[in-house]
Amino acid sequence: MKIEFNSGAKADIRVIFTLNKDLGGAFVSDRALLEKVGFDGADESTALFAERGELYVGVEDENDPESFRIAAAKAIGVLKTLKVKSASIASYDKSGADRAKAIAFGLALGAYEFNEYKSKPKERSLEAIYFNAENYYGAKTDENAVKAAIGYALVVAEGVNFARDLVNRTPEDMTPSALANEAQKAAGEHQLKCEIKDESYLQQNGMGAMLAVGRASVNPPRLIHLIYKPEKAKKTVAIVGKGLTYDSGGLSLKPADYMSTMKADMSGGAAAIAIIKTAARLGLNIEIHAVIGAAENMIGGKAYKPDDVLRAKNGKTIEVKNTDAEGRLVLADCLCYAQENAPELDYIIDLATLTGACVVALGEYTSGVMGFNDDLKRSLLQSAKNGGELAAELPFNRHLKKLLKSEIADLSNCAPVRYGGAITAALFLSEFIEEKNRDKWAHLDIAGPSFVEKAWGVNPFGASGAAVRWAIDWLERL
C-alpha cells in the first residue's frame, strides 16, 4: 500500500481527525450528526459516514504524538474493511511536520498484517493513502517537510514490521540458522558486514553458557554479528539481542499455556537486526555492532540440567538452578563476545524478553529499563516516549544481588525466590559486563510488549517489533 504526499490526488474517502474533543473544528461538516451517532472525539473513537465519504477519528490530545499514531492506526483498521481504493488526510501541523510523521507511523504500523500461513488471506481494496495540502489551522503546508517526515516514518515502520515478521513466523521455520540467514540477507541488502559463528566456534571460544542452552536441540545455536560502520562515526554502540527461537523451558519444562507463545522469545534478536538495518537505511553516523545469540532451549538426552555448573566466556562459573532461566545464559556469553569484538564501545544495550517477572511488575505493555548509569537510563526512557513505546525503570539494589550467590560456583543463574525476578536477572547480566563498561551498559526487558495476543495501540495481534522505534530515536539523539 502506498502512503505519500500528493496534494492533487482525488480519493474515495476523507479521513478527518477531530482534535481535543472539539466537534466543531475545521473540516467537521456536521457536529449534530456526530453527536447523534455517539462520537465524542475520544482516543480510538471513530465514526464512518460512507455516503458522504468521511471517516472521523478522535485525537483526544493534539499535543500527544501517540494520540495521532493511534488515531491513524484506528483509521486504517476501518479503511481496510471498506471497498475503497484510496483515502486522503489533511495536514495537522501548525509548523514543521511532526504530526505528519506520527500519522504516517500509525498508518504504516496499523496496516501491518501477517498472512504467511493463511491459505486464503483477506482481500483488501485499499491501495493508497494521500496526504494533501489542506491544513487544519489554515496555515500553508510545508510540502518538503511533510514528504521528509513521511519518508522517515515509513523507513522506521518497515524496520518494525520486519521484526514483527521474524517473530510471527513459526519456530519450525524460524530456527537459529534461519535467523542467521535473515541476518545475512539484511547484510547483503544494506552493505553490512555479517559474521555467523557456529557451535564449533562457541566450543573453541569458551562460550559454555550459550552452548549448553542449545545443545539438546536438533537445530544448533548460532551467534550472529552484524556490523554497520559508517566513515567517521561519532559513537560505537553494541546492540545485543536474545534470540531464543523457541523456549520450551528445557528440563524445567514450562506449563503448556506458557509455552504457546515462546516463538516470541527471539524478539530481542529480531529487534537488533531490524535496528541495525534501519540505522543503515537512515545513514546514521553511529558504528553499530548487533550481536544476537540464536538458540533453541529444548529437552532431550543432551539437555543441560539443574545442578549443572557452566563456564561462561569470561571464565565465570554458573550454577544452574532452573533451565528456564536460559536467556540470561545466552546473553552472558554474547555480552562478553561483544565487549571483546567491538573495541572502544561507547554504549552496550541488550534487548531481551528476559522475565515474566517484568510483566508482573509493569504489565504487558511496558518494558523495563535497568543499569548503573542514571543518565543513560533517563536518555533511554526519553527515547521510548519519543518513539511511542512505554518503558519504566526498575532499580537495582544490593539486597537482591545477594540472592544470586552460589555455594559451589561463582553465581547462580536465578534467585531462590520469585520476587524481584526482573531485577535479579539484570543483576546476573551485570556480572558479564567489564568494570570499565559498567556505566556504558543498559538492559531492556521487553518481555511484556514484544508479543501480545490482542490488538493494542498501533499494534495488531502478535509481535509488536518492540524496541525498534525506541532504539532508533535513541541512536539518532546520540
User: Helices (DSSP H) in 304-368: which residue ranges?
Assistant: 327-341, 356-362
87 grid coordinates:
483515502
| CA end-to-end distance (rounded Å), the chain | 33
Q: Report pLDDT digits (tens) over 251-276.
A: 999 999 999 999 999 999 999 999 99
- pLDDT level of residue 355 (50, 70, 90 thresholds): very high
Rounded distance, CA 243 to CA 268, Å?
6
For 291, counting Cβ atoms within 10 Å of its Cβ (0-12 exposed, 13-18 middle, 19+ buried), the class is buried
The question of whether 328 is a catalytic residue gets the answer yes
- Three-point CA angle 255, 257, 258, nearest 5°: 65
Q: What's the pLDDT at 214?
A: 98
Residue 254 makes CB contacts below 8 A (sequence gap 6+) with: 247, 248, 262, 324
Whole-model pTM: value is 0.97
Establish whether 254 is a catalytic residue.
Answer: yes
406 and 412 Cβ atoms separated by less than 8 Å = yes
Residue type, 324: D
pLDDT higher than 90, residue 215:
yes
User: Long-range pairs for 173-176 at CB < 8 Å and ≥24 separation?
Assistant: 174/245, 174/263, 174/266, 175/219, 175/245, 175/296, 176/214, 176/219, 176/220, 176/221, 176/222, 176/243, 176/245, 176/294, 176/295, 176/296
User: Residue 240 pLDDT more than 90?
Assistant: yes
CA–CA distance, 26 with 92 (Å, rounded to integer):
10
The pLDDT value recorded for residue 212 is 98
Which residue type does 68 have? F
| For residue 429, pLDDT beyond 90 | yes
pLDDT of residue 456: 96
Task: Judge residue 232's burial from the number of C-beta atoms within 10 Å of its C-beta, 0-12 exposed, 13-18 middle, 19 or more buried.
Answer: exposed
Domains and CATH numbers, the chain: 2-156 (3.40.220.10), 174-477 (3.40.630.10)
User: Of the residues 254, 316, 385, 401, which is catalytic?
Assistant: 254
Q: What is the pLDDT of residues 34-78, one digit of tens each?
A: 999 999 999 999 999 999 999 999 999 999 999 999 999 999 999
- Residue 413 is placed in which grid cell? 543463574
The grid coordinates of residue 373 equal: 548509569
Check pLDDT > 90 for residue 8. no
The predicted structure's pLDDT at residue 172: 98
Residues 310-325: tens digit of each pLDDT = 999 999 999 999 999 9
Helix/strand/coil for 368: strand
pLDDT number for residue 190: 96
Other Cβ atoms less than 10 A from the Cβ of 417: the count is: 10
| CA pair distance 82, 96, nearest whole angstrom | 32
Residue 343 has pLDDT above 90, yes or no: no
**Strand residues in 101-220 grouped as ranges (E):** 128-135, 193-197
Average pLDDT over residues 202-206: 98
What's the confidence (pLDDT) of residue 313?
A: 98
pLDDT digit string, tens, across residues 82-112: 999 999 999 999 888 999 999 999 999 999 9
Environment class of 398 (CB within 10 Å of its CB; exposed 0-12, middle 13-18, buried 19+): exposed
Q: Which residues contact 181 (CB under 8 A, 6 or more apart)?
A: none
Q: Considering 277, 328, 377, 440, which one is annotated as catalytic?
A: 328
